[in-house]
Structure 1
Amino acid sequence: MSPILSKKAKVALAVGTIILLESEKKKKRVWVKEWLQKREQFTHLRLLKCIQSCEPLDVINYLRMDYDAFQELLMLVKPLIEKKNTLFREAVSVEERLLATLRFLATGRSYEDLKFSCIISPQLLGRIIPETCRAIYNCLRKKYLCIPSKEEEWLKVAEGFNNMWQFENCLGAVDGKHIKQPPGSGSYYYNYKGFFSVVLFAIENANYEFTYLSCRTNGRISDGGVIKKTDFYNLLITDSLKLPQPVNMRGIQNKLPFVFIGDEAFSLMTNFMTPYRQTNSIGYEEKCFNYRLCRARRVVGNAFGIMANRFRIFLTPIATKVDTVDDIVMACCVLHNCLRRKSTSYIQPSNIDTEDIISGTVLIGDMHMNGELISLDVSRQGSPTIDAKMIRNGYKEYYNNADYLLVKISTY
């Protein structure tokens, strides 16, 4: 090789080395942004402790629960979400993980927005929050969310509806709501209302508590078909729910079965009562039955409203991956049940829709002021069976029976 070529080769090698080093320098990034490294200094965990010491009542507005409930929940989820520190960085603490999750559920803010108060990157929040939601659900569901499995448990639910809402043999109020997804969630979730959604199907007891939930139905399914996509429906039509046997009712010739109740979005079945359709030909007796049913069914609408105003993630499109929405929704629902039982102040009389007995009008609660979940539309399915119609007529006759009115009038 000639000396000239050798010199050129050396120059080329040197230039190439410089270019490579400059390129590597540009690619090199810090492990985490500098201000995110100061989590201990700026995180809202410090703010929470300050609020607790100065204004304890404000903790409820901040977390949607009091400080004692937060600490109790923290102990439950800790084994499931705690991470170990590494040689490279300190793990996000259990307290910060739970606090970030509760703020996300309470405000509905995006990960990108939440990072400034949590001092946690959006990418990490995208892992922390779904994981913590799953932990919350798994820790609480056995105690606070379980459908009755024995006849005596169903009878207790029916007793609650009779005592509180004067509707007998009722095993639960049923409803469904659309949970908005962000645009771009995929045509599979694009519904006929013009937005992306999944449907939350729920059954409530008389005390505003969920007893069954399903959040796996995509928004494209017709509202009337939502129930058929649930495990509950399969158990109902195969007589696998261990429901109480039909009973004799005062003044009614045939025994009437225990029933679930819903609005016109669902189909009338032998164990599922819906109102008579509002037409010009509807009579007084049908209106009386509808009044009774709608009065008892209002409990599920109130529960949805209360939960959506406590956890405002429901009032905005949930900007997460589709497969994590179920974790988020189920965590909110089981927290709702838990707080409903533990806190006497969780539901205020002014929050819910109530009835003015004298005027016969419904007084709208505060829960509607900040928005609400979108309901299912009226079902246009086929005609119900003759047996289902006969059972509804039996309940209609019962609620128009003079003896019944004399017995129940004192409870209003």
Structure 2
Amino acid sequence: MNPNRVAAMWLLYRRIKRRRIKRKYWIHPINRSREHTGIFYTLFEELRHDGSKFFNFFRMSIASFDELHEKLKNEIQHQNTKMRNCIPSRERLALTLRYLASGCTFTDLHYSFRVGISTARKIVKEVCQAIWLVMKNECIRELSKYQLETIASDFEKNANFPHCIGAVDGKHVRINCPIRSGSMFFNYKDYYSVVLMAVADSKYRFVYVNVGSFGKDCDPSIFKQSTLWQSIQTNSIQLPEEKCLPGTESPKVPYYFVGDEAFGLHTHLMRPYGGTHLTLEKKIFNYRLCRARRYVECAFGILSNKWRIFHRPINAEPEFAVDIVKACIVLHNFVRERDGYLPEDTTTISGLEDLPRAPTARGGLQANDVRKILSKYFVTPIGAVPWQMSKV
């Protein structure tokens, strides 16, 4: 008989035999004591008596947890069966938040919450999907003309950068090697990742996200292919009308996003001047743009340090990893709206890596003209800030 055929038959036999192996326990003895020794039943109520400890454990206040549970409970609650009672919705939410906040593994959840590893995995996936489904429209509203005007007004007040409707950047989110993925998720840093592309306002909130692009992709291509940019190009999103810069009477200047050197210059996307031998005007423009762009960098820093799942590779297939990232984005905005800024909200980015710098096409004449107008404006008495000369 052909040796290859014999080997194939042996592998088939082993696979069939493995399937016939019966589970040793319907519910493992460790998990049977969930309602007596599980962390939700032994610690949760104690934490509710200490607001700071509760916040440290779940990364949100007690009031925020209760509000979030009230919004999600119909989506994440299961029905009891004749065989066994379901895990309550409040416990499901607590388990998921602890997973996202601590960056622990599903095995860790198994031992602490006393649920099966596959059960913990299923709960996290269901709750993350529910967070995005239920909370997305509330926490990441569709960009309207009024909202963009508000964002621009805040950037002018907080960053001294007029007409800016958001700071854009992208980061790699590390994942374990997906099965049969080839090199699509393998990035220039030599690890596997999905890409998180986001736009932030000057209050460190994400106003637009695009999650799930391959790790091998770079900033410009992802942003230019995003639904946001396509909507701008097709006028599906109404941008504020062009206006003169504050304190001037002409010319009129459009509204735009700001990005780093990786992005191509466009009428609606300003980037720094490249090169080393720059004029004073260009250096000051680059400094002022950097001040505006830092808000998205700081937002990423707050995100990754609050939700420490980003501190290690996510042990899940890419689709599940995308669900996790989107849930964290929603929770980031939700907590900032309810609980505000806290000292532990460090803005140092941990676990998220920059995307590669790809060659970009030169901006058109109109885009270059807009950048020149801004450069000149920032060195006038009206547009300058007192400290800028010491920063260039």
Same fold (TM over 0.5): yes
Residue 393 of structure 1 aligns with an amino acid whose one-letter code is: K
Whole-angstrom CA distance in 1 between matches of 2:120 and 2:155: 41
SS in 1 for 2:382: helix
| Cα contact 2:106–2:120 (8 A) shared by 1 | yes
Match of residue 371 from structure 2? 392
Match of residue 75 from structure 2? 80
Tell me whether 1:402 sits opposite 2:385 in the alignment. Answer: no
Whole-angstrom CA distance in 1 between matches of 2:190 and 2:351: 17
Match of residue 98 from structure 2? 103
Residue 119 of structure 2 aligns with an amino acid whose one-letter code is: L
1:151-166 matched pairs, under 5 angstroms: 151-166=145-160
Match of residue 8 from structure 1? none
| Cα contact 2:306–2:345 (8 A) shared by 1 | no
Match of residue 17 from structure 1? none
Whole-angstrom CA distance in 1 between matches of 2:194 and 2:225: 12
| Unpaired segments ≥5 residues, structure 2 | 1-17
Residue among 155, 172, 177 paired with 1:178 = 172
Over residues 313-362 of structure 1, what are the superposed CA-to-partner deviations in whole Å (9 max), with x where a residue is unaligned?
11111111211112111111111111111113x433x745xxxxxxxxxx
Match of residue 271 from structure 1? 268
Q: CA deviation at 1:376?
A: 1.8
SS in 2 for 1:154: helix
Tell me whether 1:202 sits opposite 2:181 in the alignment. Answer: no
Tell me whether 1:146 sits opposite 2:179 in the alignment. Answer: no
Whole-angstrom CA distance in 1 between matches of 2:65 and 2:250: 54
1:280-359 matched pairs, under 5 angstroms: 280-344=276-340, 346-348=341-343, 351-352=345-346
Q: CA deviation at 1:45?
A: 1.2
Residue among 4, 11, 35 paired with 2:30 = 35
| Cα contact 2:198–2:209 (8 A) shared by 1 | yes
The sequence identity of aligned pairs, in percent, is 31
Match of residue 162 from structure 2? 168
The 3 A distance-change label for structure 1 pair 26 and 230 is: closer
Q: CA deviation at 1:375?
A: 1.2
The 3 A distance-change label for structure 1 pair 118 and 168 is: same
Residue 355 of structure 2 aligns with an amino acid whose one-letter code is: L
Residue 165 of structure 2 aligns with an amino acid whose one-letter code is: L
| Cα contact 2:173–2:351 (8 A) shared by 1 | no
Q: CA deviation at 1:25?
A: 11
Q: CA deviation at 1:132?
A: 0.3
1:211-290 matched pairs, under 5 angstroms: 211-249=207-245, 250-251=247-248, 253-277=250-274, 279-290=275-286
| Unpaired segments ≥5 residues, structure 1 | 1-22, 353-364
The 3 A distance-change label for structure 1 pair 36 and 258 is: same
Give the greater-gyration-radius structure (CA).
1
Match of residue 66 from structure 2? 71
Q: CA deviation at 1:82?
A: 0.6
Whole-angstrom CA distance in 1 between matches of 2:212 and 2:355: 15
Whole-angstrom CA distance in 2 between matches of 1:56 and 1:347: 14
Whole-angstrom CA distance in 2 between matches of 1:319 and 1:275: 37
The 3 A distance-change label for structure 1 pair 220 and 204 is: same
CA-atom RMSD, angstroms? 2.2
Whole-angstrom CA distance in 2 between matches of 1:40 and 1:194: 44
Q: CA deviation at 1:390?
A: 1.3
Q: CA deviation at 1:251?
A: 4.9
